[in-house]
Structure 1
């Protein structure tokens, strides 16, 4: 009996620690993922707390890893601890889980029956946990994604594809944004099928607010809202970009319905192909800028042409077609970005997300809000100042809003 109690206690501690890691690090933090993989979530969290206090015992990591840690790895881990230090004291996983339970939600961690096995393919970049409202359906899943600035043609196609896929028994996943995402969710709901809304912020935040009805209907009809960050978390530009890897990983195939040449929707396709998931793209009028990104995927061999639900179904395991050679997939910034600010790098985007539009904050506060070390925040602020995207007044920094095309504030 004592063994069972100990096992239950250990499992509870791991779940609580994974909830804490979700709040501690920004999505996609590979250093955190590696530490959790090596030590386990609870021991990794205890080590991080000790490291932040300066009581670092490198031998713990070295012994658990079973190999020598080089100076480069030590430096990388040291920089990560500096990133995490500002948030460690404020961690309150009990409060986050309480907020989730009040929403009738639940936490899903690796090893749970509900955990989407495809997320394991992300390796150390996989989420430590998922915060879920609703149920994660155990069936084939297709991501139907595209631009917010969609056309009537694109929305019609997205709706029909999702409706047809749901009718065939598949779950439709998307990001809950305006445009193609919303049309895909509506199509699945219209067929009475489940849909998954993968959010960049907490599951308690209906963002964008105009899609709140879709979100509630999703939960009420057997689907789910899910996020890798706790309730109360803000949807930021960097989290939107990282959210796309989750959409791609939990889906058996990804279809881009409509996307401009540098649309953020293309990142989901590139993540999917890099994970060896089939990718489809819907062609549009050759004169339509809204379909230029789809045509680019087709021309470069990253996707196959799909025009209806039957052709999308062929992309699923056991289907007839497969995406092009994943080795040709380009995951460079030019494929993932949607403007000058994103081109500056993930840390810079995180820091700009943390800047206020008025009042000003000091570097330490900005670092904590951004999930970076003070040194990283200082370097990013220098870049932002050079790009005329941040203004310094004494020891305080304020955001200068970029042009609309490169705005980093949440846009869905």
Structure 2
């Protein structure tokens, strides 16, 4: 291992470190140092301490020695280069760091931002205003519907949907963004070359193919570990202007995300649910603690304002109903809309029953219900979907 004192003495390393700011290899090496707090490095960076002298002097002796080893040709070749090779293997991969032009500025507001982020996909996603959508890994059918419906509407309004590509609500959030052909970012708790969970390999590929982005603070070849996911949540909320919790039990990772969001001065939104439902207990607790209760995507857009404008989802009130002949038709002008109203005129009907009666796919059924829900014609209840009061009147006239 290369020995080093307060200043870099190895000529080869000194030449590499003569730049005024750390480069990608420097940030990567710093991120691998044990027991080095991101908060300290953030402070040094913003204080514009002289690189490398003042930075290295502030490290402990073991940290300084290991950093110098990593920046020596031997350590660089054995440790750093295999990781960097993963980035250079494809043009869509990158190693982001605080001096990278694509580094998300919002992450600088975190008390403990990641030192680096491994990226795979479309970095332009980081330029869009983002909303995080989180919730249970074992949601109800209503939760799956709402996660996808809200993500779709918010994506169509110009928001990037951020989530963790986990089972349940996370996956539905990404699906909603993809169905709207919108931007989505998946922040994962493993190296980007390890898909977790494995059954989401197809979802991961579709996110990449659709111009989405995968992010991780863990280098390639890192397998998922339970301890990584709570830390991953701070990045999901840190990238976002607001966080929507769809369903969550009283003790869940989603409530950790909500707490992080509040600490990061982000807006927190929560969907209410049935009083007896355990998956609604966490959302109700958040609402009691000051989270904004929302029932439609417009509630979020109006609350945030700025880039999100209610007018940008006016067209979302006419979502596609069941597609026939390969053509999408809008619910407000489509005779298929009346078909759904007829199916619901006798009371609440579950999603499974609607799929069976309509002969449509689950995805198309959800799209149709979303269109009618946003148009104020149907509402969701404990047993499924039913006509809202205005739609009931119109439905009565058609019977």
Question: Which category describes the TM-score, using the shorter chain as reference length?
Answer: 0.5 to 0.7
Q: How far does residue 226 in structure 1 lie from its aligned partner after superposition? A: 0.3
Residue 188 of structure 1 pairs with residue 204 of structure 2: no
Q: How far does residue 29 in structure 1 lie from its aligned partner after superposition? A: 4.3
- Report the equivalent of 1:22: 31
Unaligned runs of 5+ in 2: 1-14, 311-399
- Report the equivalent of 1:234: 223
**Could you give the per-residue CA deviations for residues 317-372 of structure 1, whole angstroms, max 9, x where no partner exists?**
43799xxxxxxxxxxxxxxxxxxxxxxxxxxxxxxxxxxxxxxxxxxxxxxxxxxx
Q: TM-score, normalised by structure 2?
A: 0.64
Query: Are the aligned partners of 2:174 and 2:184 in contact in 1 as well (CA < 8 Å)?
Result: yes
In the alignment, the residues of structure 2 paired with residue 298 and residue 111 of structure 1 have an alpha-carbon distance, to the nearest angstrom, of 38
Closer/same/farther in 2, CA of residues 48 and 254 from structure 1, 3 Å limit: same
- Select which of 292, 313, 321 maps to 1:304: 292
- Report the equivalent of 1:149: 138
Q: How far does residue 297 in structure 1 lie from its aligned partner after superposition? A: 0.2
**Could you give the per-residue CA deviations for residues 80-104 of structure 1, whole angstroms, max 9, x where no partner exists?**
x9xx999999772222111222254
- Report the equivalent of 2:303: 315
Q: How far does residue 179 in structure 1 lie from its aligned partner after superposition? A: 0.2
- Select which of 62, 80, 93 maps to 1:52: 62
Query: Are the aligned partners of 1:22 and 1:230 in contact in 2 as well (CA < 8 Å)?
Result: no
Moved more, 178-187 or 209-218: 209-218
Query: Are the aligned partners of 2:189 and 2:228 in contact in 1 as well (CA < 8 Å)?
Result: yes
In the alignment, the residues of structure 2 paired with residue 266 and residue 122 of structure 1 have an alpha-carbon distance, to the nearest angstrom, of 18
SS at match of 2:162: strand
The 5-angstrom pairing of residues 78-93 of structure 1 reads: 92-93=79-80
CA RMSD of aligned residues (A): 3.3
Q: How far does residue 207 in structure 1 lie from its aligned partner after superposition? A: 0.5
Closer/same/farther in 2, CA of residues 205 and 90 from structure 1, 3 Å limit: farther
Moved more, 171-180 or 221-230: 221-230
- Report the equivalent of 1:102: 89
- Report the equivalent of 2:108: 120
- Report the equivalent of 2:270: 281
Unaligned runs of 5+ in 1: 1-5, 56-80, 322-412
Query: Are the aligned partners of 2:207 and 2:213 in contact in 1 as well (CA < 8 Å)?
Result: yes
SS at match of 1:314: helix
Q: How far does residue 148 in structure 1 lie from its aligned partner after superposition? A: 0.5
Residue 248 of structure 1 pairs with residue 237 of structure 2: yes
- Report the equivalent of 1:386: none
Q: TM-score, normalised by structure 1?
A: 0.62
Greater Rg by CA: 2
In the alignment, the residues of structure 1 paired with residue 36 and residue 237 of structure 2 have an alpha-carbon distance, to the nearest angstrom, of 15
In the alignment, the residues of structure 2 paired with residue 239 and residue 282 of structure 1 have an alpha-carbon distance, to the nearest angstrom, of 27
The higher-RCO structure (CA 8 Å, 6+ apart) is 1
Query: Are the aligned partners of 1:23 and 1:230 in contact in 2 as well (CA < 8 Å)?
Result: no
In the alignment, the residues of structure 1 paired with residue 296 and residue 240 of structure 2 have an alpha-carbon distance, to the nearest angstrom, of 18
Q: How far does residue 275 in structure 1 lie from its aligned partner after superposition? A: 1.5
**Could you give the per-residue CA deviations for residues 6-28 of structure 1, whole angstroms, max 9, x where no partner exists?**
99972785221111233335797
Closer/same/farther in 2, CA of residues 90 and 45 from structure 1, 3 Å limit: farther
Query: Are the aligned partners of 2:131 and 2:162 in contact in 1 as well (CA < 8 Å)?
Result: yes
- Report the equivalent of 2:377: none
- Select which of 173, 177, 202 maps to 1:213: 202
In the alignment, the residues of structure 1 paired with residue 52 and residue 26 of structure 2 have an alpha-carbon distance, to the nearest angstrom, of 5
Closer/same/farther in 2, CA of residues 121 and 50 from structure 1, 3 Å limit: closer
Query: Are the aligned partners of 1:245 and 1:268 in contact in 2 as well (CA < 8 Å)?
Result: yes
Query: Are the aligned partners of 1:17 and 1:41 in contact in 2 as well (CA < 8 Å)?
Result: no
